[in-house]
Amino acid sequence: MADSTTWWLLAGAAVAVELLTGTFYLLMLGIGMAAGALAAHAGAGISTQLVAAAVIGGGAVAAWHVLRKRRFGGTPGASTNMDLDAGEQVVIDAWGADNTASVRYRGALWKAVPAGGAPQGPGLHRVREVDGTRLVVEKI
């Protein structure tokens, strides 16, 4: 089997595993493996292919790491609200005795809990965050 074929198979495997895990770092390594395949197509030796894959893949991982820190906050473990549902509005008809409410949101029935701990009455509420299968809401 040609070196380029091996590199392309490795790149495809990295992309497939990345699609299953969603880490995005494997995609960056897949780019490095594609660089190794291109080096093999260019007729470079195996050591040059490995260096090209390592430099491009490692550089892409480092660049993504720096970009992610700048864009989404720098401290690991810090609470960053990347919730796409935050800010959406729901209507709560009534709160139950257990301080929860059932609301229809995105075509499904969700359990809503008040952000402050105590319900603030029925009406229009804003989704603050999604906690598992519950919407944490605040009164508008």
pLDDT single digits (tens) 19-47: 988 778 899 999 999 999 999 999 999 99
pLDDT reported for residue 59:
96
Quote the mean pLDDT of the chain. Answer: 88
Q: What percent of the chain has pLDDT over 70?
A: 91
Residue 78 confidence (pLDDT) above 50 = no
Which residue type does 64 have? W
User: CB atoms < 10 A from the CB of 57, how many?
Assistant: 23
Domains of the chain: 3-72 (no CATH), 89-139 (2.40.50.140)
CB contact at 8 A, 56 and 32: yes
